Amino acid sequence: MSNEAKLELDGKTFTLPTITGSEQERAVDVSSLRANTGYITLDDGYGNTGSCVSKVTFIDGDKGILRYRGIPIEELAEKSNFIETAYLLIYGSLPTRPQLKTFSDLLAEHQFLHEDMKYHFQGFPTGSHPMAILSSMINAASCFDEGLMHWQFGKMKQFDIYVAKLISQVRTIAAYSYRKSQGLPLIYPKQSYKYTPNFLHMLFSMPYEEFDIKPEVAKALDLIFLLHADHEQNCSTSTVRMVASSQANLFASCAAGVCALWGPLHGGANQAVLEMLADIHSSGDDGSKFITAAKDKNSGKKLMGFGHRVYKNHDPRATIIKKSCDEVLSRLNISDPLLDIAKKLEEAALKDSYFVERKLYPNVDFYSGIIMRAIGIPVEMFTVIFAIGRMPGWIANYKEIMEEPKSRIYRPRQIYTGKTINSYVPLDQRK
């Protein structure tokens, strides 16, 4: 069987090579299409377009499979933790004990922000959205670091230090973003705490009282970070790769990822889910009226936390997080009316032909918001938590671009449908 594609255009036949990935995913390689035929491909929303080859994460959306560097997400969720998984994603294999120690030491060493960055936090008005502060401050970090200001793409001897700085400092910036948004004093990270407890400490301790970090709360949050750590070529990761392709520094590229993540169709969905559940609750609906509205294209409503471009069977992250959600709520002895509504919505949608025919299942954001609410994370921090979790995936993708010898700037084409040649009309003659 031929592994070439034949394309007939303008009476001529062109041959296009195909490429097969390690999991037998197939692509027609159109790299030479425009040069050979004068045509480009058009693929709104990139639903059929592979923008790169990557060794980081594999997803089979039809089967509900997600693997980081080949390891199933279920196994990592059970046996690993966020920091070990971050190492796996960025460096390609699980760390040995000494490698993990070096990585953890680097994270601890670089968790403090430049002291002058505090003045920038002060400049944001109380009530600012923490995602706006997060993206701004990750980018602003370049102004405080010579290495970032004079970034040598692919030639940074200390790239590992910048990896550690970003993973560690995103957590410090995220906590400060929240403290600032609430007008609370900033709390420094504590050297003796591990990654996730330290975040909870910076988020909730007060200068006069340390926050009591419950192990089950730290574990649930660590799992949320881990489950979000990568997800192949989604909107934010592709944004990071796009910016990285111009050879921008690591922090600038990942700050762009934070902006892309913020929207409600992507990382912002976790906040949108909670807001949807709260609206349903306050309107006295048990979810049934909302389901009807979500099916009506004119209602402007969608069932947030449902559907996925890639998963058409189930989102494996949602399965894991649903279990963790039940455990956390029962351990903390919390009964949440919003969870009851969520369960009703899920049950109703999974039986409804509209959702079944369109293969719309709960995604990771459907339950992550409920857990975060249960463990006391404020709703405007939900997407920030997603951003902290996704940082290793963005860094791993940045690193791939940086280490690819043939990497070139991302520069898509378009089909222009605007006016053909037109003349400039002076201001006083315009109608």
Residues that bind ligand CMC (CB under 6 A): 231, 234, 265-267, 269, 294, 302-309, 358, 360, 363-365
Say if CB 349 and CB 285 are below 8 A apart. no
**How many Å apart are CA 315 and CA 363, to the nearest integer?**
5
- For ligand CMC, which is the closer residue by CB, 196 or 363? 363
Which listed residue (222, 230, 315, 365) is catalytic? 365
* Shortest distance, position 305 Cβ to ligand CMC, whole Å: 5
Strand partners, 209: 206
- 308 catalytic residue (yes or no): yes
What is the residue-wise DSSP string for 150-195? T--TTT-TTHHHHHHHHHHHHHHHHHHHHHHHHTPPP----TTS-H
User: Are the C-beta atoms of residues 234 and 45 closer than 8 Å to each other?
Assistant: no
Distance of CA 232 to CAs 54, 95, 224, Å? 8, 21, 17
Q: Is 207 helix (H, G, I), strand (E, B) or coil?
A: coil
Q: Which is closer to ligand CMC, CB of 41 or CB of 48?
A: 48
* Closest CB to ligand CMC among residues 121, 386: 386
Catalytic position from the list 201, 308, 340, 352: 308
Q: What is the DSSP letter of 287?
A: S
**Nearest distance from C-beta of residue 103 to ligand CMC, angstroms:** 26
Torsion of Cα atoms, 238 then 378 then 136 then 110, to 10°: -90
C-alpha triplet 325, 326, 329: angle, nearest 5°: 80
| Rounded least distance, CB 56 to ligand CMC, Å | 15
CB of 244 or CB of 345, closer to ligand CMC: 345
Tell me how far, at minimum, the Cβ of 324 lies from ligand CMC, in Å: 17
Please choose, from the candidates 168, 167, 193, the residue with its C-alpha nearest in 3D space to the C-alpha of residue 90: 167
* Least Cβ distance, residue 241 to ligand CMC (angstroms): 16
CA Rg, the chain, in Å? 23
Whether 365 is catalytic: yes
CA distance 62 to 311: 6
User: Toward ligand CMC, which CB reaches closer, 204 or 230?
Assistant: 230
Q: Which two tokens stand for residue 418?
A: 């605007």
> What is the nearest approach in angstroms of ligand CMC to the Cβ of residue 330?
26
Give the nearest residue (CB) to ligand CMC.
307
Please state, in angstroms and rounded to a whole number, the distance separating the CA atoms of residues 326 and 70. Answer: 28
Sheet holding 4-9, edge to edge: 4-9, 12-20, 26-28
Name which of 140 and 229 has its Cβ closer to ligand CMC.
229
Count of CB atoms situated within 10 Å of the CB of 418: 5
Beta strand 26-28 with 57-60 is: unpaired
Element (H, E) at 91: helix 82-91
Q: Which is nearer to ligand CMC, 306 or 398 (CB)?
A: 306
Comparison of 200 and 229: residue with beta carbon closer to ligand CMC? 229
Q: Shortest gap between Cβ of 63 and ligand CMC (angstroms)?
A: 17
Count CB atoms within 10 A of the CB of residue 430. Answer: 6
CB of 167 closer than 8 Å to CB of 298: no
Find where tokens 């050879």 sit.
247
Helices (H), 183-312: 195-204, 215-227, 235-244, 250-262, 269-282, 288-295
CB of 212 to ligand CMC, least distance (A): 31
Taking the complex as a whole, the smallest distance from the CB of residue 353 to ligand CMC amounts, in Å, to: 12
Closest to ligand CMC by CB, 121 or 382? 382
| Residues marked as catalytic | 308, 365
